[in-house]
């Protein structure tokens, strides 16, 4: 049996975690029984509580806060967030609508079903990243007689958007699909969208550089050579926040 004096003598060592494993176990057992040592240790812990701030701080890597938030509240949010089921339902409705219009065309229906599965998978992947999305924006449009839609999932925390475009046929030679930001200071060029038959086009994008406030987005068909900041082609869709 270790004497009480030993526990008194080793209070600081307990707080510092400097006891060896066996001693630490013995001390833990003692604290469960000894209110005097328990109080003394608590007081010592409080007095030395700031000692850890003697280390040099380490700057968290980019994305650390998001990951920490996701670890802590992400699981709960996944259970309650309405966006995931709502967006998935919207995606299914859109795809069903597209399929309805093409009913009777078996081949097209098969392609539509495949696109639906792909779009659901794409949305699920996207939404798993963008659980904090504050807004889901959507617009239907058509190009070359093909019904299409664009869905933007906007995350107010990271200021990133997940953009999903359904049904977009490949651009004609000499043309390209261009995504634009509509800001209070004019249009800002976004990414160029590469449309592949039978596949949903999706991408993540940050906000354009500068201080302009983003008010919405647009999709246009542009001459392939247009690298400027002005829309010179035909607007296909416009979404305002």
Partner 1 sequence: MAFAGDSPARPKLAAVNAAPAGLRERLLARDETALAELIDMTSPWLLGVTESILHDRSEAEEVVFDVFDIAWQKIGTVEPERGGLMPWLLRVARNRAIDRLRRRNRRLRTIDGARAVGVLGDEVVAPVELNEAGTPGWHVHTQVHAALVALPDEQRAAVRLAYFHGLTHSEIASELSIPMGTVKTRLRLAFDRLRPALASLKDWVQ
Positions touching partner 1 (CB under 8 A) are 9-10, 12-13, 15-21, 42, 44-60, 64-65, 67-69, 71-73, 157
Cα 14 from Cα 16, distance rounded (Å): 5
Q: Where are the alpha helices (DSSP H) in 130-229?
A: none
Cα 17 from Cα 199, distance rounded (Å): 57
In the block, which residue shows the tokens 């038959």? 197
- Min dist CB 135 to partner 1, Å, is 17
Q: Considering beta carbons, is residue 47 or 230 the nearer one to partner 1? A: 47
Q: Considering beta carbons, is residue 105 or 157 the nearer one to partner 1? A: 157
- Min dist CB 183 to partner 1, Å, is 26
Q: Considering beta carbons, is residue 48 or 114 the nearer one to partner 1? A: 48
- Min dist CB 210 to partner 1, Å, is 22
Residues 6+ apart with CB under 8 A from 135: 152, 153, 154, 156, 241
**Structure tokens belonging to residue 72:** 């802590």
Q: Considering beta carbons, is residue 9 or 36 the nearer one to partner 1? A: 9
Residues 6+ apart with CB under 8 A from 236: 141, 143, 148, 177, 218, 219, 220, 221
- Min dist CB 26 to partner 1, Å, is 14
């Amino acid at each position: 049996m270790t004497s009480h004096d030993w526990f008194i003598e080793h209070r600081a060592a307990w707080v510092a975690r400097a006891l060896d494993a066996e001693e630490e176990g013995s001390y833990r057992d003692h604290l469960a029984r000894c209110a005097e040592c328990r109080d003394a240790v608590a007081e010592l812990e409080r007095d030395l509580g700031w000692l850890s701030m003697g280390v040099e701080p380490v700057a968290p890597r980019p994305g650390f806060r998001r990951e920490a938030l996701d670890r802590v509240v992400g699981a709960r949010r996944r259970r309650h967030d309405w966006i995931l089921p709502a967006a998935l339902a919207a995606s299914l409705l859109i795809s069903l609508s597209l399929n309805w219009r093409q009913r009777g065309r078996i081949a097209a229906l098969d392609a539509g079903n495949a696109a639906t599965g792909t779009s659901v998978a794409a949305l699920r992947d996207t939404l798993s990243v963008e659980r904090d999305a504050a807004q889901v924006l959507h617009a239907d449009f058509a190009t070359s007689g093909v019904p299409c839609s664009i869905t933007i999932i906007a995350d107010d925390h990271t200021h990133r958007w997940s953009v999903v475009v359904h049904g977009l046929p490949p651009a004609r030679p000499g043309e390209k699909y261009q995504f634009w930001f509509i800001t209070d200071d004019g249009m800002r060029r976004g990414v160029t969208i590469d449309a592949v038959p039978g596949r949903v086009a999706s991408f993540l994008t940050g906000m354009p550089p500068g201080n302009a406030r983003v008010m919405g987005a647009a999709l246009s068909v542009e001459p392939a050579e247009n690298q400027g900041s002005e829309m010179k082609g035909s607007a296909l869709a416009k979404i305002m926040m």
